[in-house]
């Protein structure tokens, strides 16, 4: 009888994407371990890949120094929004389960080479790093605590823009976060803005460009509207490097392009310069 017969288990082979990383630029293949060991940077073409919030924090904050704040602040669904693809609330819950984050930005206190700071890191994997009410509230609270504790603000942006599912309330966060940063500066505290790939839309049009120094990583995409939208509006062909970090630096929109391996040291040097 079949239940007495010996059977062999089929070998469980993990999918290729679980084992290998593919560089989006040069299409070279690397093991996930090698890609991670190289800091998410392509060893062949130096492309700086996207990082999760936790990966970025691990690279920038001194080991064991990061203490998260505002984790209880999450999204809001005042409009009870839904479309043909489903309900907004269900999409956010699925994203929370997938990423382990409660919002598109993670904020907390830490030290960077022993310099106390308020650190914020956006995660593009959380609904495209979109700016929602929870995102804006976390950044505003981070600024308030930074003022109380006399900490500079270091904020890494990665976003496709405002979260349209929340309507006008998402656009309100542009003004809210800009006002919070204005109060931070009025208190005499520096703000270091790091624009990573990609930083676009309402985020690039608000707090991401308000730093006392605006820095970015090589080849990062930074802009407001997309290339196709602009070309269709002005009826002109844009340069090949338009909206790249290099293009923005050349035209004065970015102060410095910093390699990821040098980012922590560069930020620490700026904090030393300001006396923090």
Listed by start position, the domains of the chain span 10-47, 50-274
Predicted pLDDT of residue 14: 59
Q: Per-residue confidence at 33, pLDDT binned at 50, 70, 90?
A: confident
CA distance readout (Å), 166 to 81, 123, 137, 162, 225? 7, 18, 14, 9, 20
CB proximity list for 188: less than 8 A, separation 6 or greater: none
Domain range 50-274, its CATH number among 3.30.110.40, 1.10.800.10, 3.90.850.10, 3.90.226.10: 3.90.226.10
Does 272 sit behind a cis peptide bond, omega within 30 degrees of 0 on the bond before it?
no
Residue 1 has pLDDT above 70, yes or no: no
Please say whether the beta carbons of 200 and 224 come within 8 A.
yes
The rounded percent of the chain whose pLDDT value lies above 90 is: 81
Mean pLDDT, range 22-50, rounded to an integer: 87
Bridge partner list, 120 = 107, 155
Q: Per-residue confidence at 266, pLDDT binned at 50, 70, 90?
A: very high
Mean pLDDT, range 201-208, rounded to an integer: 96
Structure tokens at 102: 């409660």
Predicted pLDDT of residue 24: 85
Q: Per-residue confidence at 35, pLDDT binned at 50, 70, 90?
A: confident
Euclidean distance between CA atoms 207 and 164, whole angstroms: 18
Residue 16 has pLDDT above 90, yes or no: no
Mean pLDDT, range 3-23, rounded to an integer: 67
Predicted pLDDT of residue 13: 60
Residue 11 has pLDDT above 70, yes or no: no
pLDDT in tens, 125-140: 999 999 999 999 999 9
Mean pLDDT, range 3-14, rounded to an integer: 61
Residue 157 has pLDDT above 60, yes or no: yes
Largest CA distance in the chain: 82
Please say whether the beta carbons of 133 and 170 come within 8 A.
yes
Q: Which residue has the higher pLDDT, 226 or 124?
A: 124
Euclidean distance between CA atoms 210 and 272, whole angstroms: 20
Q: What is the mean pLDDT of the chain?
A: 93
């Amino acid at each position: 009888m079949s239940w007495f017969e010996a059977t062999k288990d089929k070998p469980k082979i993990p999918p290729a994407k679980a084992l290998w990383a593919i560089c989006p630029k040069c299409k070279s293949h690397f093991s996930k371990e090698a890609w991670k060991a190289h800091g998410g940077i392509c060893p062949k073409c130096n492309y700086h890949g996207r990082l999760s919030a936790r990966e970025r924090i691990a690279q920038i904050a001194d080991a064991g120094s990061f203490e998260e704040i505002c984790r209880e602040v999450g999204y809001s669904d005042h409009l009870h929004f839904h479309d043909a693809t489903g309900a907004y609330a269900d999409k956010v819950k699925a994203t929370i389960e997938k990423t382990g984050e409660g919002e598109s930005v993670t904020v907390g206190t830490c030290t960077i080479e022993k310099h106390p700071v308020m650190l914020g890191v956006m995660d593009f994997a959380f609904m495209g790093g979109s700016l929602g009410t929870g995102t804006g509230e976390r950044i505003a609270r981070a600024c308030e605590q930074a003022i109380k504790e006399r900490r500079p603000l270091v904020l890494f942006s990665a976003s496709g823009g405002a979260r349209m599912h929340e309507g006008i309330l998402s656009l309100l966060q542009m003004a809210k976060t800009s006002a919070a940063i204005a109060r931070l500066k009025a208190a005499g505290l520096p703000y270091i803005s790091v624009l990573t790939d990609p930083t676009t839309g309402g985020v690039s049009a608000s707090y991401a460009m308000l730093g006392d120094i605006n820095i970015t990583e090589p080849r990062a995409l930074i802009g407001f509207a997309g290339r196709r939208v602009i070309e269709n509006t002005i009826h002109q062909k844009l340069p090949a490097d338009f909206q790249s970090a290099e293009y923005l630096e050349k035209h004065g929109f970015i102060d410095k392009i910093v390699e990821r391996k040098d980012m922590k040291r560069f930020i620490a040097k700026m904090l030393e310069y300001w006396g923090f």
